[in-house]
Structure formats: C-alpha cells, structure tokens
Amino acid sequence: MALIAIAVFDTNENKRTELTEQTIESLKVTVDRRKHRIIIVDNASCDATKKLLVKYQTHCKACEQVITLPENIGTAKAINKAWQLRNPGEHAIKMDNDVIIHTVHWCDILEEIVTREPKIGIAGLKRTDCIETPWNEMEWYRSELVMLPHVNGQRWLIVEKVHHVMGTCQLYSSLCLDKLGYLYQMDELYGFDDALASVRAQVAGFITVHYPHILIDHIDPGGDDPYTKWKRTVSSIAMSRFNAERKAFELGYKPVWCDPE
C-alpha cells in the first residue's frame, strides 16, 4: 500500500497542463488504485489544469483527492501536504507531473524492494539521463549493484545503490519516513529536496537505490522556455546552499527529522 503524491504547478506561461494529463493517464494504466492512493497537490495552477484535476477526481476517479492551494508553496512543501494524510505503515511516493511509466505494477515492485530489504529507505525509478554507473569516476555518481535477499520462488531483484535518487519517482519506505518525517525544502521553491532526502536517509542508516529495469520517459521538453530557464537559475543559485545543507545533515548539525510546514 502506497500513497502517491504529485505536486502540480501549471501556468499559462509554462504550458504544462498537457504534461500533467499524460502523467495521470500513465498512472491510470500502470497503478492498481484498489491498493494504492493518488493525491495531487495543486500549487495554484491555471484554470485549464484545475478543470483537468476536477475531471480526474470527480468523473473517472483517477485520483483519490486533489488539494488546491491558493499560491505556489514549492514542490517539497506541497508533497508534504499529501504525506500528512499517510496511514500508519503506508509507504509514500513522490512523483513529478512530467513522466510516463510504461510498466504495469511498477509501484508494487518498488514496494517489494523495500520489503525484501528493509535497509532500503528510498527506491526510485531511473531516468535515462541519469549518469550513475559503477564505473563513474566521480564518487557522487558512482553506484554499486546489489542483489536483494532471495528465497526459492521469488523473482531475482538487483538494485543500484546510489548517493542520490532522482526525485522524478521515488518510493520512501514507511520505516524511513518514521525517521525522516517529511521532505525538507530550502528557501527556493524548487530543487534539491530529493538529494537532501537521500542524504538524510543515509545519515539515518538507510540505503538509497535506483531500480533501473523499468523504462520511464521524462516528457518535459526542456529547451529555452521561461519555466526551464527559471528552474536552471534557481538550481544554479541554490547549489552552494545545497552543499552547506548536506554537510549540516552529514555532520549532525541538523536533525534528519523534518516537520511539515
């Protein structure tokens, strides 16, 4: 059982309504909604997306709940709004609204990973543009292939132990969330909450992994549109802040537990 949380910030300028629609359509096909819950948090999106979300909640029941916010409070804080509704023992998934997943029951596979190996706190699907490999010369991007515990009759599962699980689609085990609480958002509205969550999980004694065997498409076209430029600018400005925050968690100056705001 997992709670899938998606933060949506679609505007007339960034034209992401179609990406949100493709993402939810993907979930309709690949997620068993009798077992898993989908909650969407709307960060004050445009009218087109608001109408779309009403359709998915009210008419086709593609999501259990839509939380509508009066302003954009940022990705991590929006996801936390959904995670506050997590049931005891329920895993939680942070998912972006610009991804198509092609494998049915991918959510069940991520759940099986953290069940087979409780030391795994975060398990994410791996985008094709991620550069983690066992042979990468940079330590931050060097990974390790790990075979999970196995008993006769189980499928073989091999995961990729990494320092940073890309936040496009991450499952957080309930055990891990009991230690971390919620996502930590820096002053910026966008960026690095996933990387800091991986650091916090590792400080708390968990392993963070990619599961690279499921094909996902990152459908954000990128380019030089204003929204993409804004994300790049925010990420660039926040990089030095991220490194300082990472050290604070690693050295114990900041507790890994984070309360929702």
Residue 228 pLDDT > 80: no
Please state, rounded to an integer, the average pLDDT across all residues of the chain.
93
At the fourth CATH level, the homologous superfamily of domain 2-250 is Spore Coat Polysaccharide Biosynthesis Protein SpsA; Chain A (3.90.550.10)
Residue 20, CB half-sphere, CA atoms under 13 Å: how many?
Answer: 28
Residue 190 pLDDT > 90: no
Report the first-to-last Cα separation within the chain, whole angstroms.
25
State how far the alpha carbon of 3 is from the alpha carbons of 33, 42, 70, in Å.
Answer: 10, 16, 23
CB 224, CB 174: distance < 8 Å: no
Domain segments of the chain as ranges: 2-250
pTM (2 d.p.): 0.94
**What single-letter DSSP state applies at residue 258?**
B
Residues 170-187 have pLDDT tens digits of 999 999 999 999 999 987
Q: How confident is the model at residue 235 (pLDDT cuts 50, 70, 90)?
A: confident
52 burial level (CB within 10 Å; 0-12, 13-18, 19+): buried
Q: Which pLDDT belongs to residue 189?
A: 66
Q: Compute the distance between CA of residue 89 and CA of residue 29 in angstroms, rounded to an integer.
A: 25
Of 174, 163, 167, the C-alpha closest to 200 is 163
Q: Rounded to 10 degrees, what is the CA torsion of 119, 123, 129, 130?
A: -20
Residues 11-28 have pLDDT tens digits of 998 899 999 999 999 999
What's the rounded mean pLDDT across residues 220-247? 78
CB 202, CB 172: distance < 8 Å: no
Residues 130-148 have pLDDT tens digits of 999 999 999 999 999 999 9
Q: Which pLDDT belongs to residue 161?
A: 98
What's the rounded mean pLDDT across residues 237-251? 89
Q: Compute the distance between CA of residue 29 and CA of residue 31 in angstroms, rounded to an integer.
A: 6
What's the rounded mean pLDDT across residues 58-77? 89
- Supply 223's token pair: 């380019």
Q: How confident is the model at residue 60 (pLDDT cuts 50, 70, 90)?
A: low
Residue 188, CB half-sphere, CA atoms under 13 Å: how many?
Answer: 18
Residue 237 pLDDT > 80: no
Q: Which pLDDT belongs to residue 223?
A: 67
- Percent of the chain whose predicted confidence (pLDDT) is above 90: 82
Q: How confident is the model at residue 218 (pLDDT cuts 50, 70, 90)?
A: very high
